[in-house]
Structure 1
């Protein structure tokens, strides 16, 4: 496939680029700073510098003629999300340009706290720890909620992937999935496995129009 990857310089996005190239895909990595990509040059890798991801005219060249989009966009901190939301505004522009250019498949990373509570999780997690986490990172999650709303309102075939806390570890290929739910007891997952989930959903029709919870 011909893929466009947003958020390619982040931990998950960089893994998406590496795994997509290893799988034989053609990748356009959209970045603000090409020096931060950290992926060796490859004949199937194009690096596109786009300073403003809400600039729809700038997005058209990186989306035209592509088969699918993978988004690993997200604020690096709660402060950043509060001052300059990233995922929500950018994704609104991305899906509009996708609709105009005929790119109809999207896989985007979000976060487990936007999913429903698992009845199987204990009261300590559901009543105490999870609400604290949502409060501490409320601006990050608010930005992701705007992103999810923009995706759901679009005409593209989408999947949202919701991981718990990310670990800087490579792909294992061994993780649990839950459609339209969070994984019971799911606390962590490797960034490499999040990238694997984002890519694998592109060819999994059962995930279209759904959120996918994942965790170790």
Structure 2
């Protein structure tokens, strides 16, 4: 497949690029600072682009089979960046007739199931209190996706780790795996690439966790 990856210099984004290249895909990595991208390989095109203007992004999404995004706030002061930049990406995709997009969201956006343990409910409440601005940004990101014409999937991991790629984790479409606590960035990337070709995840949030 021909893929474009936004947020390609982040922890998840670099894993998406690395695994996509290993799988034989052609990858366009869109970055602000090419020096921060440590992944190399045949089939990789690195493009520096202004993510705030849809017109400048049209060439990097044109003709692609899918777009994958690791865009998100690095801290509370960056809250708003995910929804704002995702909106621009969606505008560029719409202009070029590209439909498929898979983005990183977050586990706490899902409401706990009726039978969820009390500790899960309490943990979600604490996270929303501490990181409210970040999660509101991601909620608006998912809102932008749902209002668009795109065939979107929002992958929602819990706490991220720097653990290895295992390819073994639980997935729940439209919800979260019970008692999900962590997932490595490498496995988040694996889940995103897997979802890209899975029609069951289209227009759905997908909870992923060990």
**Same fold? TM cut 0.5:** yes
CA contact (8 A) 1:118 1:183 kept: no
SS in 1 for 2:83: helix
Instruction: Count how many residue pairs are aligned between Structure 1 and Structure 2.
Output: 210
Give the match for residue 54 of structure 1: 52
Structure 2 gaps, min length 5: none
- Indicate which of 152, 168, 173 corresponds to 2:146: 152
Q: Distance in 2 between matches of 1:179 and 1:124?
A: 22
Q: Distance in 1 between matches of 2:64 and 2:135?
A: 29
- The answer to whether 1:89 aligns with 2:84 is yes
* Alpha-carbon displacement from aligned partner over 1:75-128 (angstroms, at most 9, x marks no partner): 1111221xxx211001111111111101111111100111121334321331x3
Q: Distance in 2 between matches of 1:80 and 1:201?
A: 27
CA contact (8 A) 1:120 1:184 kept: no
- Indicate which of 101, 104, 119 corresponds to 1:106: 101
Give the match for residue 77 of structure 1: 75
Q: Distance in 1 between matches of 2:48 and 2:136?
A: 27
Give the match for residue 18 of structure 1: 18
CA contact (8 A) 1:120 1:185 kept: no
Q: CA RMSD in A?
A: 1.0
* Alpha-carbon displacement from aligned partner over 1:39-89 (angstroms, at most 9, x marks no partner): 12x221001111x312111111111111110011111111221xxx21100
CA contact (8 A) 1:28 1:62 kept: yes
Runs of 4+ in 1 over 2 A off after TM superposition: 118-121
TM value normalised by structure 2 = 0.97
- Indicate which of 179, 184, 207 corresponds to 2:201: 207
* Alpha-carbon displacement from aligned partner over 1:175-213 (angstroms, at most 9, x marks no partner): 000010011000100111100010011111111111110
SS in 2 for 1:43: coil
Give the match for residue 63 of structure 2: 65
